[in-house]
Amino acid sequence: MKTKIIHILNHAPQRNHLGLTPTTANKFGHAEFVYLEEEKKYIGFYLKDFHIQLAKFTLEATDEFQIECWRPYTDFIDKSYSKNINGITHRLFPSTQFKIPYFGTFMYSNSMLKELKKEINNYKIIIHFHDGHSRYVAWLMWNLRKINVPIIYQHRGYTFGNFLFKYSNKKYNIIPLLEFLLFQKPLTKRISYYLAGSQPEKSFVTDKLKLKKCEYFHDGILFDKLILETNKVIIRNQLEIPTDKIIILYVGLFTKIKGIGEFLKAYNHLKEKYSNIQLVTVGGYKTDEYYKLLLDNQVIVREHIPGEILVKYYQASDIYVMPTKDPIIQNFGGFGSAPLEALACNVPVLSYNIINYPGTLEERNKIGRMINGEQETYDNLEYIINHLDEFKEARKYTQKYYDNNIMINRLVQIYKELSNAFYGA
């Protein structure tokens, strides 16, 4: 009997995804729909979700495991549904969500928990949680705490409650701290393998929580899909951005938490000295708080675009910036897929989150520079502008650690290790 890997996502689809149909879901892409005849509505299996992508790549790498992908689906459904898509069984479970004043939002799924216990009793199971310290996964783990089953916890941003308390402006709200002490900390001991999405998260889990099986792990990048473009002029003409300037690219919402407002100050200051630089911002919306300010400062602004078009912006750029100053994102948000994709296109990165790079300091200096504050942003952006040739091998030094094949092969090794340890060869 093959060991079964059950990937569990920590959240339900966004409310605006529920009730979509094959014709109204085009902008979300890559979905399989099932029509429920009695209810006269569709349910969607969204194949771009990161747990599904990881499952897909694992199946391509080995046939040693059965693979399933589970997720809660709110009260939009009243029973579970499953569909086999390209060799992977996808399952949706009804879940209940509610709010408690001062405590926040909670979600649970008795249907998923019951089915999970049944699977554990009947099969060789490895549970692979994809989570950002959610109450939902904590609830599942609490109910499984007395069952001996291997658990992989893949950290995908956000952090433990003690850090939420530390960085919160509302020090009177001790609820996150209590959640850490009463649930998160003791439940961490039940994790068989912890895949930390950031280096600070890894250090905390290893040094403070004393979990031995913990390593830094980031989803791999498909380098073969991100082709280097030697003639930026052609792409820039297609995108209608200047061909005679150094293009500085920002990708994300045009909001305070993303740091674009603070970065704009350093950029404008630098532009007084370097008239040949141009900031291009992609991915926000007209309703974002800094949308108008960016336009007023002669920044080229593009709203949310499909991934295949975003790649062209990477290829057309000279420098990528990720300027957030939010301590949770800086320390626990990980490197980020967008900056890694930019690096795959040989574009150096200016970001605090470069601290997550697992190579040597010498190697790290080949892919970009760190920023933390307006002056350091100014200084290091100016340095990159004047030394672009130093970063001409950024792709090579990124691929060394983040190539998708490397990451998937490592994950398969972990699956094999846990399967042998719990169930024998």
Q: Is the pLDDT of residue 136 over 60?
A: yes
- pLDDT exceeds cutoff 70 at 288: yes
Q: How far apart are CA 129 and CA 10, in angstroms?
A: 7
Residue 153 β-bridge partners: 129, 194
DSSP string, 108-124: E-HHHHHHHHHHHHHS-
Is residue 72 predicted with pLDDT exceeding 70? Answer: yes
Name the residue type at position 191. Answer: I
CATH superfamily of 224-402: Glycogen Phosphorylase B; (3.40.50.2000)
**pLDDT tens digits, one per residue of 173-196:** 788 999 999 999 999 999 999 999
Which of 25-29, 158-162, 255-259, 275-279 shows the lowest per-residue confidence on average (mean pLDDT)? Answer: 25-29
Q: Considering only CA atoms, which of 407, 399, 341 is closest in space to residue 57? A: 407
Q: Encode burial over 132-152: b for 16+ CB neighbours within 10 A, e otherwise.
A: bbbbbbbbbbeebeeeebbbb
**For residue 23, is pLDDT > 80?**
no
Mean pLDDT along residues 320-334: 92
For residue 170, pLDDT beyond 70 = no
Residue partners of 19: CB distance under 8 A and separation at least 6: 41, 42, 76
CA 155/CA 211 separation, integer angstroms: 14
Helix axes 110-122, 135-143, angle to 10 degrees: 40
As a CATH number, domain 3-220+405-423 is: 3.40.50.2000
Tell me the C-alpha distance between 266 and 274, whole Å.
Answer: 12
d(CA 45, CA 31): 5
Confidence class for position 28, pLDDT limits 50, 70, 90: low
How far is 407 from 221, CA to CA, in rounded Å?
9
Share of the chain above pLDDT 90, in %: 80
Sheet holding 368-369, edge to edge: 300-303, 277-284, 246-251, 319-322, 349-351, 368-369
Confidence of residue 172 (pLDDT cuts 50, 70, 90): low
Could you tell me the two tokens for 256? 């305070």
Contacts of 282 (CB under 8 A, 6+ apart): 249, 250, 251, 302, 303, 305, 310, 313
Q: Which of 194, 330, 398, 161 lies closest to 202, judged by CA?
A: 194
Q: Which residue has the tokens 């569990």?
A: 8
Q: What is the pLDDT of residue 390?
A: 96
Alpha carbon of 196 to those of 169, 199, 202, 277, 408: distances in Å? 26, 7, 5, 36, 15
Determine which of 160-164, 220-224, 228-232, 339-343 has the lowest per-residue pLDDT on average: 228-232
Q: Kindly report the number of other CB atoms within 10 A of residue 362's CB atom.
A: 8
Which pLDDT score is estimated for 356?
Answer: 96
Q: Residue 276: how many CA atoms within 13 Å on its side-chain side?
A: 8
3-state secondary structure of 275: coil
Identify the burial level of 122 via C-beta atoms within 10 angstroms of its C-beta, where 0-12 means exposed, 13-18 middle and 19 or more buried. exposed
Average pLDDT, the chain: 92
Q: Name residue 125's beta-bridge partners.
A: 4
Q: Is 103 left (phi over 0), alpha (psi -120 to 50) or beta?
A: alpha
Q: What is the pLDDT of residue 250?
A: 97
Question: Is the CB of residue 6 less than 8 Å from the CB of residue 119?
Answer: yes
What does the pLDDT look like over 76-117, one tens digit per residue? 999 999 999 999 999 999 999 999 887 889 999 999 999 999
Alpha carbon of 413 to those of 61, 193, 214, 406: distances in Å?
Answer: 11, 12, 14, 11
Percent of the chain clearing pLDDT 70 (strictly above): 97
Q: What's the confidence (pLDDT) of residue 26?
A: 56
Task: Check pLDDT > 90 for residue 216.
Answer: yes
Q: Which tops the pLDDT comparison, 347 or 30?
A: 347
| Angstrom distance (rounded) from CA 340 to CA 334 | 11
Band (pLDDT 50/70/90 cuts) for residue 171 is: low
**Extents of the domains making up the chain:** 3-220+405-423, 224-402
- Say what the pLDDT of residue 41 is: 84
Is there a shared CATH topology between the 3-220+405-423 domain and the 224-402 domain?
yes
